[in-house]
Amino acid sequence: MDSRTVWMRMKAHGWAYTLSILLTLAVGILIGTVISYGVKGKEGQKSSDATPLTLPSPQQLSTTFSQIAKQLEPTVVNINTESVIKPNPHRRGGGGQGDDDDDSGGMDDFFNHFFGGPGGQFGQDTGPIRERSLGSGVVVDAKGYIVTNRHVVEKADRIQVRFQDDPPGVQHDAKVIGTDEETDLAVIKVDVNRALPTAKLGNSDGMQVGDWVLAIGSPFGLSETVTAGIVSAKGRDVVQNRQFQSFIQTDAAINPGNSGGPLVNMNGEVIGINTAILSDTNAYAGVGFALPSKTVVEVYNQLTGPDHRVARGSIGIMFDAVENPAITRMYGNGTGVTISSVVPGSPADQAGLKVGDTITTVDHKKVANGTELVDDIASRKPGSKVDLGFIRNGKQDSTTVIVADRAKLFASRLGEDQENAEANITKPSKMGVTVRKLSPEMADRLDIPAKGVIVEDVKPRSFAEDIALNRGDVILEVNKQPVNSEEDFARIESSLKSGQDVVLLVWQRGSAKDSGTIFKAGTLP
């Protein structure tokens, strides 16, 4: 094939290629024209039959939640507390010089290493630690009385309250009027020169499962937060050894900081005080708990009374928290409350009640379960008399019992302040420590020396805490004097004076039974 032939073929291919491009462009323009025409045609069509869209006025929408929020928010306060913790240079519990100086190690060493203390990255010169916490409260009296949770304000050195209309940075100092450990409620008061807006209380007994409720408070410090939910359940007993904490359960979002804030019904009435959540993450998981307003009113009226404390009646018995029909059938007639334990020296003990007796009536009124019995007895004043009917060995009997003060009767179990117990020394402890005599049985059970007194409690920011005395330590001597009973300890302590050196010989908790004694010493403030 000559060169002319090749050139002619290439020229023919070129024209073909050019023609194909032109055809493609023509088709594209044609399609675009059709699309454009179709769109323009639709835009040009008449739409007089279309109904214009409009927004409804706000009044046409449900405003129940917003109205309640506007009504209640001015009565809900943000509570800030501050606690000053004095650093303890002896926190590792040492003082001795041996290789086994701190067998308890473990978690104490972890905290010392990362947060200061001997060997810690911050050294021993760390100043006072200021702890801050946030909570909520609700104003129930125009004079400045506020209901909140006990755990929001307990051990606080300073409590400050902020109202909704306060300018930024303005807070009011508050004082504690009274607290109740068994219900975790507290009453605080601020002094202001104006009448405060107050929340209206509703009757929690009228609430039903499924009713709408709002929770108002300051979760994570975000004040004036409103969440909605329903009453999920009533009568929830979720805390052990808290007979009077029967909660309203709700799925309204409750988070840290909501504590002490109100749970409100659709009438804008407070029917509960938000107290706790059930969660693996310490954040909202759909299960929150509020103390019913019925309980709140009972506690509030006593905390604001002359004694500023809640007095509940008790006869000194215990029974199974979970009702078991088999027990009452075995010991009674199928109904009533079967006694599982009687406190020695208690009114029940003095009246002749025994383990296995089944209480069936209180002042001739039948009681079906333990909750009814406790509610009835707790509502009675200490010193009053009550007639109890009971069954023993299949026979009906009765006795008269004088009601005692529950807080004093169960002081050690309830963790009440020892100064309030009749059997305890009225003078406050100079060292800030509560001790108990060691019985041989206790020493054997705990595998500790059967002598001395065991430390039951150490008051925060006290001399005992300063010298690193811990719960479970056993005090053997005070200033060379042997201590074998509470009386020995009280007698020696009463002779100590401010500015005096105090040296304790202590068997340290966690040490071997036949060793581990160290000195813990300091100058009494």
Calpha distance 264→465 (Å, rounded): 43
**Alpha helices of 44-170 — where are they, by DSSP H?**
64-72, 107-115, 150-153
What DSSP letter does each residue of 301-336 carry, written as one string?
Answer: HHHTSTT-S---EE-SEE--SS--HHHHHHHSSSSS
Q: Which phi and psi angles does 250 have, rounded to 5°? A: -140, 155
Q: Which phi and psi angles does 228 have, rounded to 5°? A: -120, 150
> Is residue 284 within 8 Å of 270, Cβ to Cβ?
no
Residues identified as active-site: 151, 184, 259
Contacts of 449 (CB under 8 A, 6+ apart): 438, 443, 474, 476, 507, 513, 514
Calpha distance 379→312 (Å, rounded): 6
Q: Which phi and psi angles does 40 have, rounded to 5°? A: -60, -35
> Is residue 207 within 8 Å of 252, Cβ to Cβ?
no
Calpha distance 468→257 (Å, rounded): 32
Q: How far is CA 335 from CA 338, 342, 361, in A?
A: 9, 20, 10
> Is residue 492 within 8 Å of 480, Cβ to Cβ?
no
Task: Tell me which residue has tokens 């500015």.
Answer: 499
What is the number of other CB atoms lying within 10 angstroms of the CB of residue 208? 8
The residue type at 336: G
Picking from 412, 456, 419, 414, the residue whose alpha carbon sits closest to that of residue 434 is 456
What DSSP letter does each residue of 368-418 carry, written as one string?
Answer: -SHHHHHHHHHTSPTT-EEEEEEEETTEEEEEEEE-EEHHHHTHHHHT--G
Residue 192 CA, chain-centre distance (Å), reads 29
